[in-house]
Structure 1
Amino acid sequence: MTFQDIHYYSQEGLKLYARDYGSRASPKTPLLCLPGLTRNSKDFADLAERLSHDRRVICPDFRGRGRSEYAKGWTDYTPLNEMRDTLDLMAAAGVNHAIIVGTSRGGLVAMNMALHRPTAIKGVVMNDIGPEVDKTGIERIMGYAGKMEVPPTWEDAAITIRQMNERYFPNMPGEKWHAFARMTFRDEGGKPAMDYDAAIGTGLRRAAKLMRGNIPTMWKEFKALSHVPVLLVRGENSDLLSTTTAEKMATEHNNLTLVTAKDRGHAPFLDEPEVSNAIDAFLAKLH
């Protein structure tokens, strides 16, 4: 199924982009898929194709990622700014409320939305993210975000992505690594190219330095989700969302379902059979 392009503007005037799958006339609540720190709408292509036969699915590229304009500097890349951009997208798309699928950074944006605009959310799928994140995972991400050398060929890109991630994603077939590479880089003249602003990585490292390694928690924002059902997806080998935090989230929220993606790290692709089944069951209850 094809998608339509949405072009809209942030409050600062940045030209932003989103993919729009499915029919605007669908009576079902639209799905809004929010990507990870350096990721973009391509990560949700398979999910959107699968679900858009009877539901509208909107997948933005956050500022500085994919086809969206880069911000002026690293200080402009924050979950709060990305939340504001998401609300601007909803207004531009004519969507009053949505079910959010938030992968990693996208889940942080969803929690901020719950605190600042609770009526905009009807339910949330949180993909390998929570109100507390493990320092190990953050340090790993800081080690490559905005610092990674672009491989010269697509074959090299698949090899690089595999070398970086295989310990967290064991038993993945070769074609999956090639697909992962295509989601990570953009094609420029038949060769891979960086698909996000390197300043995003700079911002993450600067923020960590300012906080002296003390990562703030977001339990207040998470508790703002108490009015909607939550599906929490955790990668079995995740180094960002611990089992302890996931279990605490299930205790703190009285309508949370936890599913573990086998042989997956940070973050699951959402096409794993156990995850697909859980998403289908979750959406069936929300219409």
Structure 2
Amino acid sequence: MDADTGFRSLFVSARDGLRLHARDYGPLDAAGLPVVCLPGLARTAADFHELALALAGDETRPRRVLALDYRGRGRSDYDRDWRRYDIRIELDDLMQVLAAAGVEQAVFVGTSRGGLLTMALAVARPAAIRGVVMNDIGPVIDARGLLRIRGYIGKMPVPRSFAEGAEILKRLADQQFTAFGEAEWQTMARRTWTERDGALVPDYDPRLMKTLEALDLEAPLPDLWPYFAALNGVPVLAIRGENSDLMAAATLEEMAARHPDCETVTAAGQGHAPLLGTREMVRRIARLIEKAEKRGA
């Protein structure tokens, strides 16, 4: 464990040989259920840092937490073919990481694309999932949110400093994140850009934009309720940002109505996707993990 960062770096080879990275927090031999954190489309493992530290460092029940960088994000290698930034390939990458880490069962925390991956895993390998946190994602996706995301991924101006990056993000998303102060915008800037060769660059492959450009947002988006139904055997915590344009409040309500054990929460003053490192969110997620452990016992 790196005393400065609070995690170990785990590198795993994907099936096609591409090198994948994950942050590995907490004791490897922890008695509690491990937790696997899956970020959004152009996000990285860093988004879960505060949550992972809190869960891994719990005084009464420390646990192992894995947070993934998908291919083309963070410290994972970029793919030479952008078409391979595909959820089916990322699902296989996830299973390779779980196998390499020796994680057979876990609670999964999925933000946005990470929630889609979790539902896909529930169909492909249901026994791996003991509980789920769905962060601002559900079986119905609002095309407005996808349009907004398509408008900025790979297209934002490159800041000269993280302070300037915070200003860029604030101008872009201040209506979504009305509860954010300067500290939150600074944190988001440091998790959107990274320093390489003395300059700031996006912490993801800008060619990710091509995957969104290939989407026909005029056509109906796929119905994912059958995938959500695959989670019926495990407890779920569904989170929605109050100002989210990707997940409607009606979808959150319907998730609770359809699932036998789905708790819901709305993150006030936040959009797509809410931060999970606040004391209140950590408490709720820890409670979901405890519920999953008791059910398994």
Give the equivalent residue in structure 1 for 2:37: 33
Letter of the 1:198 counterpart: P
Offset at residue 254 of structure 1 (A) = 0.7
Q: Report the more deviating stretch, 265-274 or 114-123.
A: 265-274
Is 1:11 paired with 2:19?
A: no
DSSP-derived class of the 2:149 partner: helix
- The answer to whether the aligner puts 1:149 opposite 2:157 as a matched pair is yes
How do residues 80-91 of structure 1 correspond to structure 2 at under 5 angstroms? 80-91=88-99
SS at match of 1:33: strand
Offset of residue 145 of structure 1: 1.2
1:108-123 matched pairs, under 5 angstroms: 108-123=116-131
Q: What residue is the counterpart of 2:74 in the other structure?
A: 66
- Structure 1 unaligned spans of 5+: none
Partner SS for 1:82: helix
1:106 aligns with 2:114: yes
Alignment partners' CA distance in 1, 2:166 and 2:149: 18
Q: Deviations over 1:203-253 (max 9, x none)?
A: 1111x13x6443212111111111111100111111111011111111111
> Matched residue of 2:191: which SS?
helix
Q: 3-state DSSP class of the match of 1:233?
A: strand
Which residue of structure 2 lines up, in the alignment, with residue 254 of structure 1? 260
For the 8 Å contact 1:259–1:275, the answer to whether it is kept is: no
The residue type equivalent to 2:222 in the other structure is: P
Give the superposition deviation at 1:149: 2.2
Partner secondary structure for residue 88 of structure 1: helix
In the alignment, the residues of structure 1 paired with residue 79 and residue 280 of structure 2 have an alpha-carbon distance, to the nearest angstrom, of: 38
Deviation at 1:190, TM superposition (A): 5.1
Answer yes or no: is the 8 Å Cα contact 1:261–1:272 preserved in 2. Answer: no
Asked whether the 8 Å contact 1:128–1:233 carries over to 2, the reply is yes
Decide whether aligned partners of structure 1 residues 262 and 212 sit closer, same or farther in structure 2, where only a CA change above 3 A counts.
closer
Partner of 2:48: 44
1:279 to partner: Cα distance: 1.1
Alpha-carbon deviation of 1:117? Answer: 0.5
Q: How far did residue 83 of structure 1 move? A: 1.1
Q: Partner amino acid for 1:157?
A: G
Which moves more between the two structures, 126-135 or 194-203? 194-203
Give the structure 2 partner of residue 227 of structure 1.
233
Tell me, yes or no, if the aligned pair for 1:260 and 1:275 is still in contact at 8 Å: no
**Range moving further from structure 2, 148-157 or 226-235:** 148-157
Structure 1 residues 10-51: Cα deviation after superposition (integer angstroms, max 9, x where no partner)? 111111100100011111110000000000011011111111
TM norm structure 1: 0.96
Report if the CA contact (8 A) 1:46-1:271 is conserved.
yes
What is the match of residue 21 of structure 1?
25
Gaps of 5+ in 2: none
Deviation at 1:273, TM superposition (A): 4.2
Quick check: 1:16–1:67 contact (8 Å CA) kept in 2? yes
User: CA separation in 1, counterparts of 2:151 and 2:77?
Assistant: 24
Inter-partner Cα distance in structure 1 for 2:205 and 2:12: 19
Distance 2:235 2:195 in 1: 38
TM-score w.r.t. the length of structure 2 is: 0.93
Question: Which one-letter code corresponds to 1:151 in the other structure?
Answer: P
Distance 1:108 1:72 in 2: 24
Instruction: Report the alpha carbon displacement of residue 69 of structure 1 after superposing the two structures with TM.
Output: 0.8
Q: What SS is found at the alignment partner of 2:166?
A: helix
1:275 maps to 2:281: yes
Q: Report the counterpart of residue 203 of structure 1 in structure 2.
A: 211
Superposition RMSD in Å: 1.3
Q: Is the 8 A contact 2:135 2:238 kept in 1?
A: yes
**Match of 1:267, SS?**
coil
Aligned to 1:240: 246
